[in-house]
Amino acid sequence: MDLSFRQEGDTARWDWTPVPVPVEVTLPPGMHVAANPGGGQVKGAHRLLVPSGTGHLEVTCARD
């Protein structure tokens, strides 16, 4: 699986090889979800669950 992460300002983005199971991602330390992400389910202030077959997620975040 290839995985990349990028943060620019208040936007965090993950890109990965799609897999047939849900993927859970964690925000960078000191950040929390500020806006409901398209395609991701918020699982607490710092974690998101993405449906199987998805290959990217972009979310707006804010400092804790």
Residue linked to tokens 């993927």: 23
- Label residue 35 by pLDDT band (50, 70, 90): confident
Question: Which sequence spans correspond to the domains of the chain?
Answer: 3-63
pLDDT at residue 45, rounded to an integer: 81
Lowest-confidence region among 12-16, 33-37, 39-43, 49-53: 33-37
On the question of pLDDT at 21 being above 80, the answer is yes
HSE value, Cβ hemisphere, 13 Å, CA-based, for 32: 5
Q: Using CA atoms, how far apart are residues 62 and 45, in angstroms rounded to an integer?
A: 10
Q: What is the pLDDT of residues 5-14, one digit of tens each?
A: 999 999 999 9
